[in-house]
Amino acid sequence: MKIQIITLFPGMFEGVLGSSMLWKASDRDIVSYEFINLRDFGLGPRKQVDDNPYGGGDGMLLNPEPLIAAIELAKKNDPEAVVILPTPRGETYKQSEAKELATTNKGLILICPRYEGYDERITDWVDRQYSIGNYVLTGGELPAMVIIDSVVRLLPGVLGGETSTEIESFQNDDENIEFPQYTRPEDFQGMKVPEVLLNGHHAEIEKWRKSHSHKAE
Ligand code: ADE
């Protein structure tokens, strides 16, 4: 899967994409991460990418020309790719979306807006608009990383255990929240691992896990 990221701050991704499973996925050629620096498409000698909003108001908005030029380059690289815009105004991003993106066999193009936002006309070039929660971040980079992480871990060959992605949390969005788990020691400061998990009785363990799969209060 080719993942193209349009951003003014590619450095923000280094630690996340360069570590652990996201790094392994690219090392195993399951994904490739490619950056398109929006600044390269900036206007004029100062490579400007933003301007004041019509109608007044605080902050700057991304101009359409540089952003659309960047999206068009990404589309030229991968014509079938799904163009994703993280925005607090988008549909709430859920596990079902991650699963869908992981199984479409299409590349992803993630746009990372900055400043106070973007010119609304760019949404004509976008396939999906997602919010990762009801709070406002300083840009689209963190939501883009959240989306990438949630998709890449579902790609075949990325996680070790074949069943681990099947049984875990949010498999069907809000249903089947993951059950609590324990490892050594059996007794930690007087807090004991539930007896049922120690007796090796598979059916009882399954029953216990089902009955304890609920959201934290
Ligand atoms: N950009 C800023 N805040 C965001 C959020 N909560 N979700 C997606 N994109 C955003």
pLDDT at residue 115, rounded to an integer: 81
What separation in Å is there between the alpha carbon of 122 and the centre of ligand 1?
16
DSSP state of 169: T
Q: Which atom of ligand 1 is nearest to the CA of 138?
A: 2
Which tops the pLDDT comparison, 115 or 52? Answer: 52
What separation in Å is there between the alpha carbon of 15 and the centre of ligand 1?
20
Q: What is the pTM of this model?
A: 0.93
Q: Which residues pair with 86 in a beta bridge?
A: 130
What separation in Å is there between the alpha carbon of 90 and the centre of ligand 1?
8
The answer, yes or no, to whether residue 21 has pLDDT greater than 80, is yes
Our mutation pick for probing the ligand 1 site, out of 91, 134, 137, counting the most ligand atoms within 8 A of Cβ, is: 137
CB-based contact 115:58 (threshold 8 Å): no
pLDDT at residue 167, rounded to an integer: 46
pLDDT per position as a tens digit, 94-140: 999 999 999 999 999 999 999 889 999 999 999 999 999 999 999 99
CB-based contact 55:119 (threshold 8 Å): no
DSSP states of 111-125 as a string?
A: E---TT-B-GGGGGG
Distance CA 128, CA 27 (A): 28
Q: Which of 60, 38, 198 is nearest to 117 (CA)?
A: 60
Q: For the chain, how far is it from start to end, CA to CA, in angstroms? A: 37
Q: Which residues pair with 131 in a beta bridge?
A: 92
Distance CA 105, CA 30 (A): 11
pLDDT at residue 168, rounded to an integer: 59
The answer, yes or no, to whether residue 18 has pLDDT greater than 80, is yes
Q: What is the average pLDDT value for the chain, to the nearest integer?
A: 93
Q: Which atom of ligand 1 is nearest to the CA of 132?
A: 7
132: Cβ below 6 Å to ligand 1? yes
Tokens of 25: 């996925």
pLDDT per position as a tens digit, 151-198: 999 999 999 765 555 545 555 676 557 899 999 999 999 999 999 999
Element (H, E) at 78: none
Distance CA 35, CA 73 (A): 11
- Measured in whole angstroms, the distance separating CA 53 from the mean position of its chain's CA atoms is 29
pLDDT at residue 171, rounded to an integer: 57
